[in-house]
Structure 1
Amino acid sequence: MIGRLTGTLLEKLPPQITVDVNGVGYDVDVTMTTFYQLPALGQKTTLYTHLVIREDAHLLYGFGSREERETFRQLIRITGVGAKIALAILSGMTADELAVAVAQEDVKRLSSVPGIGKKTAERLVLELRGKLSPSGLAGSPGGLPFVTTADEKNDIVNALLALGYNEKEAAAATKTLPAEVSVSDGVRLALKNLMKG
């Protein structure tokens, strides 16, 4: 089991990044919460990881904190919630926000995540009750703003598509983004727009 990676950040194509560890490049799918906290390319980073081994692939998921990884592991134990949906949940809200939504039995908030219907949201509340507790840490830092190019806009749309939103939803969510926004900030703002809708 690969439990942690420390290496140089080579690529950031949300939700996937590549980390070079002593000459070996690891492709890691990360939550948007973790993505916003990543350093610049070429900088050293450490991620807590969870490895999923399937017949056709070995998939590595990365998290900025042990708490986020533990929340991911709690989510994938629930029937009907796979790694992709768990990643989408933790991209739409932090581990703390999820703990609060579960504690408050906020089915509406949970079902606003793509791939989560009302029944799955109710199952999340039922099965996670008492297993998650907010740490009291809120917010995640964004990057510095700069002029968004067509490629960066595409990266934002692609990140939303990878998280399970359809093209229409992704286009609507990115339509109102400011002219000067980084990819990570753009994804964060677009996710907020989608959560409101």
Structure 2
Amino acid sequence: MVAFVKGILEYNDGENIIVDTGNVGYNIMISSSVSDRLGHIGSEVKVYTYMSVREDAIKLYGFNDRDEYDIFRKMITVSGIGPKGAMGILSIMTPDDIRFAVLSSDSAAIAKAPGVGKKTAEKLI
């Protein structure tokens, strides 16, 4: 498992980044909130990662900090919310916003995320 990647930011399209760690470039899927807080191309970055291993693909998902990573891990345990849906939620909400929405049963706020419908948002609550 890859806990984090630290290196030079080589590419950022808002959904994916490539981090050069020496002689290896890691392609990492990110939310728009991660993209907004990364430095510019050529700067050193540290991205916490979750490695998704499936039969047809191995993907890295990246986060600004452990709080984002931890809430992502909790969200993907909910039936119907996979890594893509959890990243969609993190694109529009901070971890604190997500916690508040869950505690206040505000599934409508969560359902605004791309790829997350009303029923899936209600499962998260």
Equivalent position SS for 1:42: coil
The answer for the alignment partner of 2:61 in structure 1 is 61
Structure having the larger proportion of residues in helix: 1
Cα pair 2:101 2:109 within 8 Å, conserved: yes
The answer for the alignment partner of 2:74 in structure 1 is 74
The answer for the alignment partner of 1:92 in structure 2 is 92
Cα pair 2:30 2:63 within 8 Å, conserved: yes
TM-score (norm 2): 0.96
Matches within 5 A, 1:6-155: 6-125=6-125
Please give the alpha-carbon distance, in whole angstroms, between the structure 1 residues aligned to 2:14 and 2:119: 29
Aligned-residue offset at 1:23:
1.2
Please give the alpha-carbon distance, in whole angstroms, between the structure 1 residues aligned to 2:112 and 2:61: 23
Please give the alpha-carbon distance, in whole angstroms, between the structure 1 residues aligned to 2:29 and 2:115: 18
Structure having the larger proportion of residues in strand: 2
Aligned-residue offset at 1:115:
2.2
Aligned-residue offset at 1:90:
0.4
Equivalent position SS for 1:5: strand
* CA-to-aligned-CA distance 1:134-176 (integer Å, 9 cap, x gap): xxxxxxxxxxxxxxxxxxxxxxxxxxxxxxxxxxxxxxxxxxx
Aligned-residue offset at 1:114:
2.4
- Segments of 5+ residues of structure 1 without an aligned counterpart are 126-197
Number of aligned residues: 125
Which of these two proteins has the greater Rg computed from alpha carbons?
1
Please give the alpha-carbon distance, in whole angstroms, between the structure 2 residues aligned to 1:111 and 1:40: 31
Equivalent position SS for 1:59: strand
Percent pairwise identity: 38
Aligned-residue offset at 1:51:
0.3
Please give the alpha-carbon distance, in whole angstroms, between the structure 2 residues aligned to 1:104 and 1:32: 25
TM-score (norm 1): 0.62
Aligned-residue offset at 1:15:
0.5
